[in-house]
Structure 1
Amino acid sequence: GVRGEGLRAKALLGGRDELLVAAKAALRGTVRDPEGAPIAGAQVCASPSSATLLRSETREPTCATTEADGTYRIDGLFPVEHRVDASAPTYIPKQFTEGEGPRKRRTVRLLAGAERAGVDLVLRPGGVEIRGVVRDLSGGVLEGALVSSGGGSARSDEDGRFALWVEPGTAYVHARADGYASNGDRGAAPGHAFELFLTPESVLIGKVVDASSGAPVAGVSVTSDRWGARWNWGTGPDAVTDAGGHFRIDGLEPGTYKPTAYDDEHYGIAAAQVSLGLGQTSAPVTVEVHPALTVAGTIVPEDGEACERGSVSLTDEASKRSFSASTEGDGAVLLRGVLPGTYDVDVDCDGYVPEERYEPIAVEEATSGLEWSVAVGQAILGQVVTAKGDAAPSMRVRATMKVDAADPRARQTSSWGVETEEDGSFAIYGLKPATYELGISGERPGPDAPVEVEVPKGRDVEGLKVELPGSGSVTGRVVDERGAPVGDVVVNLRSKDRGGGMFFFGGRSSSSARTTDDGEFTIEHVRPGSYRAEASQGWTRTLRSPGTSDDDVQGVELSVSEDEATQVEIRVEAKGAEIRGKVVDADGGPVSDAFISATRESDSATKSAGSNVRASRWGNWDLQPVLTDADGGFTIDNLTVGTYTVHARRKGGGEGFAEGVATESEAVITIESTGSLSGTVTASAGPPEEFTVTLRERESAVWRSDTFFRTGGAFSFDELSAGTYELTVEAGEGSAKVEESLGDGEERDDVKIELVGRVTVRGRLVDLDSGEPISGMRVHIGPSSGGMFFGGGGGERKEVSDANGEFEVANAPSGEVQLFISTQNWGGTNDYSGASMMRTLAAKPATQDIGEITLVKKRLTDQEKSGDLGFKLRDAAPDEEWAKRELKVAFVRPGGPAAAAGLKAGDVITSVNGHDVTGEATYKYWALTRAKPGEAVTFGLASGSSVKVVLGPAL
């Protein structure tokens, strides 16, 4: 690349002021059906996409209705990229695309004062109508809300009602309205009455000033979080400061925010997080900005074309900073607010092959004129057909590169997936010569095993035909013990014959469906075999059969045959119970803005103390919460009979729990006064310029993280409940971890944390049984409390194990750390699974060798299912020392394999097949115990005895 004089954003991409006053653009086209007949009355909407305009200026589309001849025209558009969607009654919505391969575009580029013609769309029949209502949290209806799903959009009427035509399956419906935060609902299409509740908006206001002079800074972009400035993926900022440096960000949900300001010459983060309550406008927040730079360049494909969809990421390993931006127009990339440093460069361009390594960039001044070349590479072109030879459209095809044993650190070129066209064809571009595995998923089952494809050097693979297996269908109902339908729950088919993950997208899956409000469901294309059908609410809450416990096997068994329909009924516990109560503050006064959720307490023998509170915090994120009334009262209805933990939280801060609350009873929940923790972070050379503090309270599962920039080492967290907090600090200069206690309403400002220098870690991955080296696995090292993992190695990829199994991770934290070992080719076939383990690293020497790490080779292929052991282990307690962790048997299923072998609840497992699984070696347990039905696993026990368990059929 070439270093230049510097380049302002408006010179490269067009500044916001110029865009606002520029002559508007227009587009026009025709909407037709597959036979070429025009579709009258179709709605066509153009949605702007720009990194320059505010998000509020791009969040609503401009729409038009087609005439009798199917033509339309949309005027008054910003001269930026636009997504164009069309929808019409009885048809499936469609997004406009043009071009093929690497040059396929999903947006239309508009020019000032110009009209773009030929934006034509073809709609397929088969759409279904969905209906619903938009309400505020109090239950009142909202008129004029913009409701959208799958490319179609509508406005709610005076009764809050709306109707949309969408693709059959599971639809996600999104709604937004002025004065409210946006929200969504997911449900079966057709068959579900959608109900979307919008929360009154919270507002963040403040001022951006120069850190040196205190003078206001005008024209600076502001985001509500710290990520938007550094990871720009084509969306604009939340606000731009006015002449007085002021900004206002609306449409926010109650919660915690960290305003960040940036432009070509400035960068800064607010000194502390801002907690916003329901409908609250913050006190003015001051954001100090410091000098920063721009880095501008272009991704240049070797074939002379423009890089339509690409990105450039800069990472400074010394400071642990990264900046990313996507391409805008002709492959141009602009990274704004970049801080001085030496950055490794990572380049991506859809359909092209990046270089193995790009030269690092030393950013000391505004830099422009950089060029990053990408190669054309090879392609796989083929067609996916059904077992009957028909085209299989809308299937997702993923290409995963197999690791080259001769060069395991070579850059991978894999594809997350392309969608097959109407004729089943697909094309995956930008591949290196290598062996690839094709994985195919969607509404039909994929091939029985990944399709292996050899891509030779200098030649594309053409004419590949992939035939999907035959399938049957499953239809059924979910009902309660009284026979009443149970609607809007997810039915999953869990194979008893096959392993492997479950890939689905766009609401289409060959193994799951959502029930209608009448409790009915259909899964059209299911791989023949044996299954267990389970119903769940949300992602994690399996619905129990009447009279069973959480340790019992749930669901019903069924068998699916090719070209046959299987019917099934899943019977679950009845709903209809309720819990009433009141939320009060520490003085006994009512709390009128608390969000309430109830989580059924598990009766599983595996649960550790405090698990009810931890589950209630994270187990209901996908459910609509209840808001307390003016007197602090609440009612949670439609519950199954049982005992619950009720969680009350003010999203701006403060919470309370009531455990052991039975249905049809009343609970009083007290939100105690919150406190704060603040202090300073120091390093040997003084306070770090930038650092991240992760705060964790293990007993209650509180987790917060924040980044502090040029605060002189000062940090603070407010709105904290009482507890014992673990604070982990990560900075370029080093890391540290301390533990601090906090009482109800206590405000502590005396926390002092001293960073310990980072280290370079070397080691070797070997097979547990043979001792042979394991190549091509990636090693990450991060703090034991979780958070960011730092790969190290820069562009040399030394964190990937070489042919001798050796790896090196630079700039790793010391102290208690977590090693996370993963495959490079996620989704592909590997001999080893990933592993996570704890270690303690000394602060010195600066470079240290941790020796050999053993991994367990898989005993099963990815398509094989592990047999049933017939027992469960107790969950680890949150404060349990990892080096002393015990694998204690909590539950043995009567009549199961473990019971037959004599294993008992309370037994402590110390070895599996002769391999130690105590303390830090517990990470081996999972891989060692996966085996085929009929195979034996020997468990050594702390009592000195051993038990051989012959695995039974998968459940």
Structure 2
Amino acid sequence: MKRWVAWVLGALVSGLLLWFALREPNADPTVVAAREEAPATPLSVRSSNVSARGAGLTELSALPLVPDEDRPGGFHVQGLVLDPEELPVEGATVVLDTSPPRSVRTGKDGTFDITGLSPRAYQVVARHGSLLAGPVGLWLNDETQPLVLHLRPAASLEVTVVEGAEARGVPGAAVELRSQQTVLGTTDAQGRALLQGLPVGRHVLKVSARGFAPSWQVTQVVDAVDVAQKVTVALRGGAAASGTVVDARGKPVAGVVVMPVPETTNTLLSLTDARGDGVETDARGAWRFEHLGAGPYQFTASGPRVAPGTSATVRLDGMSEQSGITITVPDAARFSGRVEDARGAPVPYAVVRVALDEGARRTLARQTTADARGAFEMEGLPQRRVAVVAKHERATSGTQFVDLSQEAVRKAPVVLVLSAAEVLRGRVESSSGQPVGEAVVSAELTGARMRGRSEQTLRGQLITTADPGGRFEFRGLLPGTYLLRAAPPGTTLQQRLPWLTPPVQAETGGMEPVLKMSLGGTLTGRVVREDQVPPTDFSVVVRGAGAAPNGGGDGRFHLRGVPAGEHTLYITGKGFMNKTVPGVRIQEGQETSLGDVVVQRGRQLQGRVVNASGAPVADATVTVSQPVKGVGVVVGSAAALEYGLQQVRTGPDGGYVFEGLPISPLQLSAEHFQEGRSEFTQLLAGVADQKMDLRLSATGQLDGTVLKGNQPVSGALIIVTNPAAPAGGVSGTTGTDGTFHFDNLAPATYSVLAVTESGGGQQVQRTTANIQAKQTARVDLTIPEGSVTVLVRAQAAEGTRAQEARVLLIEKLQGANQPAQVQALSMAQPARFEGVNPGEYQLCVSAMTLPGQTDGGTGTPRSDCRPVNVAQQPVQQELVMALPLL
């Protein structure tokens, strides 16, 4: 029986990166609280504090929360905005994340006052020109003191908007960078717009202009630098798309918002937003978008009293109108209850969150606020099993699961008890033992389930600021073991370099931990090509910390706060080969200069894309990458980093050009929404430039469903790949009814994977499909739903440096379609596999390198596997697995 391994890598701090690969038996897997107490004195907050919408002070949620509309109240938020010289700032814009958001401008004395608020957790941002303060958070109540917001220089982004493949700029284009406060700009006569005062992190950049289809893309904004980051957006024409929204009985639904959701393999983040991109259905349930570009889309419908619905995937050609798209919204559930403290007394104005998290991309996350009697109500929920948590300043509830598919459950009010009130205190010191005032401290409760997106959304990621004496406190915690990290004052969660330090374990109710904070060092250098000319754009990546984009200038880069230790550096960009720089040593408080980092030109590949008749095809997409190790696919931005994935569009003559390709073997394909796809083509290793024409031909289609038990799974990530295809494959998600559809597939045999959330990990179901030209194949995948829970505990192997690993539980069935679950394993927490069926399995463990470690130059840690048998009883079974050597 053939063995295969499915690996998943999720990055959930600034957004979502998901990486799946199926590997052969001998191939090694590749690893790539709110402050719960209102201040008694005025709260002085620097612009670096981080928060997420509606989450409480400095939280970051894994899923975007959709808050119900706020009720007017008698509270207000007031404060003062100061510039870097501590002078009041007139005319600064202050934004509060009410629903809908509200903003005011500061007066001549720099003060602001936002009135008519209900008491709950809020986030505040201030912006003035190129300066930014926040976001910061607070729990609004009778004791809340005025805020003092300190503006400081922030990042800038220069966006150039061009027309298609032409170099002509598009004047008058609307540019939006979406964060807590959307930053707007309009392009000038040359098609350029400058956006200033931007927060660090991953944001969605939307560009739209009259006569063009709107464009959405993820943009990484890094720390403030002397020059603006640069990004170019190409707009193309589009065509109309229209349809209707109906209920489960086929009747039209008026007054709901329909939103286009472009399917993309570049990111798993949701690119569109109902408030900025949606249209409302009319009395006949009809909706229409005038301009949408070519590509696969799903369309979602939502409303405050309507359960969300998602259409099947529709491929638009960008040239002719696509009509008759139907979105069916399922019957909605109403959910009500009350929040009580541990003594049974009602808790007014607690935040209540509901999450449905079964897929790997879009899910449901809602938030409401209880009234003065602790009562709450939420409408428009799906009739499914949802997770619920209540939060307040000093306590939280446990996670409660409510099955809204049961009528009796829907009618019975739910009582949420704020029983979790543990406190964790400690202090932060420098390496010399001196207290570090205003250090930023993060806490993470161990356990695989706590790493799941549902729990991260319901509870948020805890982060607070130490007092001037270096002491910190977290309140309202669940009992357990927490992993604590400290970063220098002003660090945000999006500045990922400072968070690469190993954590300190601490128990609630135990001894107060002492966190030794490292300021890290500085890494500098200059990226140049072989001719000593800097590349036009490039990114510097420290393994485990994401990319730091650079553009233009003289090729210099400057990374601050890199933790002391040994790191691997990646240089990526256009027009040169990706370069890996291993063994970069950083010393505390020192600057490490790499001097000139020379990147190789690589080889050039050019050619034409033609149709079946030999005519050139314009605007076709050509994709090239190195072969994926084993049998697999990489989804998300990791495909560019790990396998050099590049994509270009053909010009009017069907021509395409790739620069900076490696000398290793490459895999190539081309596609066009009308003309079809080419066969998968392999380019042999070599140093010489190459020419290759690609011929498009007729394609096939694939339909299917994903079920768990007898319930459809919405939002499941579907990956369709062939070993000869470039990295990235073809991916999409299931609709509300669990169905998926792919067209424009080249005739071949494909692996089809369905990936869903499973606690803190993922569950993978796999099958194969044979695609033939002008035919539709069908596959149905059922996610196993057993009754046994398997706990895998870690045992350190002699001589190992591994502290954390990925664990796979693979069911041994006849054929190649074994289901699998993927979880994290460490000495601090077991891997937890739920819903396991009794039977024979293969258990595989592979180490993940820690920040600052290297993998001995192999690039891949070793994987250890062993057979295990899961019995019918007991319902919870334990295994011990050694952490493998690196």
The TM-score range, normalised by the shorter chain, is 0.5 to 0.7
Q: 1:119 to 1:447 in 2, by over 3 A?
A: same
Does the 8 A contact of 1:130 with 1:190 survive in 2? no
Give, in whole Å, the separation in 2 of the partners of 1:528 and 1:220. 53
Shift of 1:758: 5.6
Instruction: Note the C-alpha offset of 1:671.
Output: 2.6
Asked if the contact 2:78/2:111 (under 8 Å) is kept, the reply is yes
Aligned to 2:591: 565
Spell out the pairing of 1:42-53 with structure 2 (5 A cutoff): 42-44=92-94, 49-50=99-100
Q: Could you tell me which residue of structure 1 aligns to residue 245 of structure 2?
A: 208
Deviation, 1:96, is: 5.4
Contact 1:582 1:632 in 2 (8 A): yes
- Partner SS, residue 618 of structure 2: coil
Match in the other structure for 2:683:
660
| CA contact 2:518–2:588 (8 Å) conserved in 1 | no
Shift in CA distance, 566/220, structure 1 to aligned 2, threshold 3 Å: closer
The aligned residue for residue 820 of structure 1 is 822
SS of aligned partner of 2:474: strand
Pick closer, same or farther for the CA change 1:665–1:432 going to 2, 3 Å: closer
* Counterpart residue number, 1:586: 612
Q: 1:238 maps to what in 2?
A: 278
Larger radius of gyration: 1
Structure 1 length-normalised TM: 0.62
1:524-603 mapped onto 2 (5 Å cutoff): 524-529=560-565, 531=566, 534-537=569-572, 543-544=578-579, 554-555=580-581, 557-575=583-601, 578-599=604-625, 601=626
Partner letter of residue 748 of structure 1? T
1:174 is aligned to 205
Residue 135 (structure 1) aligned with residue 137 (structure 2): no
* Structure 2 CA distance for aligned equivalents of residues 163 and 73 of structure 1: 29
CA deviations 1:479-534 (Å, max 9, x no partner) are: 2333333464343456xxxxxxx468xx8xxxx785774221223334444x3553
Contact 1:573-1:640 within 8 A present in 2 as well: no
- Give the match's secondary structure for 1:31: strand
Q: Is 1:170–1:514's contact at 8 Å kept on the other side of the alignment?
A: no
Q: Kindly tell me: are residues 27 and 765 of structure 1, through their superposed partners in 2, closer, same or farther at Cα, counting changes over 3 Å?
A: closer
Instruction: Determine the structure 1 residue equivalent to 2:323.
Output: 283
Query: Does the 8 Å CA contact 1:475/1:567 hold for their aligned counterparts?
Result: yes
CA contact under 8 A between 1:187 and 1:516: conserved in structure 2? no
Note closer, same or farther for the CA distance 1:369–1:754 as it changes in structure 2 (3 Å cut): closer
CA contact (8 A) 1:48 1:81 kept: no
Q: CA deviation at 1:311?
A: 1.5
Aligned equivalent of 1:54? none
Q: How does 1:842-857 map to 2 (within 5 A)?
A: 848=838, 850=840
Q: Does 1:256 align with 2:285?
A: no
Distance in 2 of aligned mates of 1:761 and 1:190: 57
Matched-pair contact (CA < 8 Å) for 1:149–1:171:
no
Larger RCO, structures 1/2 (Cα 8 Å, 6+ apart): 2
Q: 1:169 to 1:36 in 2, by over 3 A?
A: closer
Q: Give the C-alpha shift of residue 377 in structure 1.
A: 0.7
Q: Percent identity?
A: 20
Report the counterpart of residue 338 of structure 1 in structure 2.
382
Scaled by the length of structure 2, the TM-score of the pair is: 0.66
Aligned to 1:673: 698
Note closer, same or farther for the CA distance 1:393–1:717 as it changes in structure 2 (3 Å cut). same
Change (3 A) 1:848 1:153: closer
Shift of 1:418: 1.0
Aligned residues of 2:676 and 2:699 also touching (Cα < 8 A): yes
C-alpha distance 262-532 of structure 1, shift in aligned 2 (>3 A): closer
Which residue number in structure 1 is paired with residue 655 of structure 2? 633
What is the alpha-carbon distance in structure 1 between the residues aligned to residue 793 and residue 111 of structure 2?
A: 65
Q: Deviations over 1:58-103 (max 9, x none)?
A: 8xxx877656443579999999999653223463443354348x99
The alpha-carbon distance between structure 1 residues 307 and 132, as it changes in their structure 2 partners (threshold 3 A), is same
2:396 paired with 1:353: yes
Residue among 488, 494, 507 paired with 1:454: 507
1:44–1:65 CA contact under 8 A, matched in 2 = yes
Q: State the secondary structure of the residue aligned to 1:284.
A: strand
Superposition map of 1:682-697 within 5 A: 694=718, 696-697=720-721
User: Which amino acid in structure 2 is aligned with residue 312 of structure 1?
Assistant: V
In the alignment, the residues of structure 2 paired with residue 80 and residue 764 of structure 1 have an alpha-carbon distance, to the nearest angstrom, of 38
What letter is aligned with 2:508?
A: V
Q: Which residue of 1 aligns with 2:192?
A: 161
SS in 2 for 1:259: strand
Aligned pairs for 1:801-880 within 5 A:
816-823=818-825, 829-830=827-828, 848=838, 850=840, 865=853, 868=856
Pairwise CA distance, 1:142: 3.8
Corresponding residue for 1:311? 353
Cα deviation for residue 206 of structure 1 reads 0.5
1:483-502 alignment, distance < 5 Å: 483-486=532-535, 488-492=537-541, 502=544
For the structure 1 residues 304 and 617, does the alpha-carbon distance in structure 2 shift closer, same or farther, using more than 3 Å as the test? same
Residues 428 and 466 in structure 2, CA contact (< 8 A), matched pair in contact too: no
Partners of 1:173 and 1:196 lie apart in 2 by: 14
Map 1:14-53 → 2, pairs under 5 A: 30-33=80-83, 36-44=86-94, 49-50=99-100
**Amino acid aligned to 2:422:** Q
Indicate the residue corresponding to 2:151 in structure 1.
124
CA distance 1:265–1:275, shift in 2 (3 Å)? same
Distance in 2 between the 1:820 and 1:104 partners?
46
What residue number does 2:23 align with?
none
Q: 2:776: which partner in 1?
A: 748
Contact 1:536 1:543 in 2 (8 A): yes
Does residue 195 in structure 1 map to residue 231 in structure 2? yes
1:92-111 equivalence runs, <5 A: 92-95=132-135, 97-99=137-139
User: Which residue of structure 2 aligns with residue 294 of structure 1?
Assistant: 334
- Specify the SS of the correspondent of 1:353: coil
Instruction: Quote the offset at 1:241 in angstroms.
Output: 1.7
**Number of equivalent positions:** 748
Quote the residue 1:930 is aligned against.
885
Return the match for 1:473 from 522, 538, 561: 522
1:704-745, Cα deviation, whole Å (9 max, x unpaired): 45546679xx975433221124557899xx99976442223x
In 2 relative to 1, CA 558–136 (structure 1 residues): closer, same or farther, beyond 3 Å? same
Matches within 5 A, 1:361-440: 363-364=406-407, 367=411, 369-382=413-426, 384-387=428-431, 389=434, 391=436, 393=438, 395-401=440-446, 416-420=461-465, 426-440=472-486
Q: Does 1:649 align with 2:671?
A: yes
**Per the alignment, do residues 120 and 679 of structure 1 end up closer, same or farther by CA in structure 2, a change over 3 Å counting?**
closer
Mapped contact 1:381–1:428 kept (Cα < 8 A): yes
CA contact (8 A) 1:91 1:126 kept: yes
For residues 46 and 193 of structure 1, the distance between their equivalents in structure 2, rounded to whole angstroms, comes to 27
8 Å contact 1:45–1:64 — kept in the other structure?
yes
* Cα contact 2:794–2:881 (8 A) shared by 1: no
Label 1:187 to 1:70 Cα distance change in 2 as closer, same or farther (>3 A). closer
Among candidates 364, 368, 371, match of residue 327 of structure 1: 368
8 Å Cα contact 2:482/2:505 also seen in 1:
yes
Alpha carbons of 1:490 and 1:440: their partners in 2 closer, same or farther (altered >3 Å)?
A: farther
For 1:810, the equivalent position in structure 2 comes to: none
Q: C-alpha displacement at 1:353, in angstroms? A: 3.2
User: Which of 710, 722, 729 is residue 698 of structure 1 equivalent to?
Assistant: 722
Letter in 1 for 2:885: R
RMSD: 6.1
**CA offset digits 1:727-773 (Å, max 9, x no partner):** 57899xx99976442223x2236x58697996444667577899xxx
Q: Which moved more, 1:79-88 or 1:628-637?
A: 79-88
Give unmatched runs, 5+ long, in structure 2. 1-66, 264-269, 450-454, 757-762, 798-803, 871-878
CA shift, 1:245, in A, is: 1.1
- Tell me how far apart the structure 1 counterparts of residues 164 and 208 of structure 2 sit (CA, whole Å): 13
Residue identity in the other structure for 1:571 = V
1: distance between equivalents of 2:740 and 2:519? 60
Partner of 2:174: 145
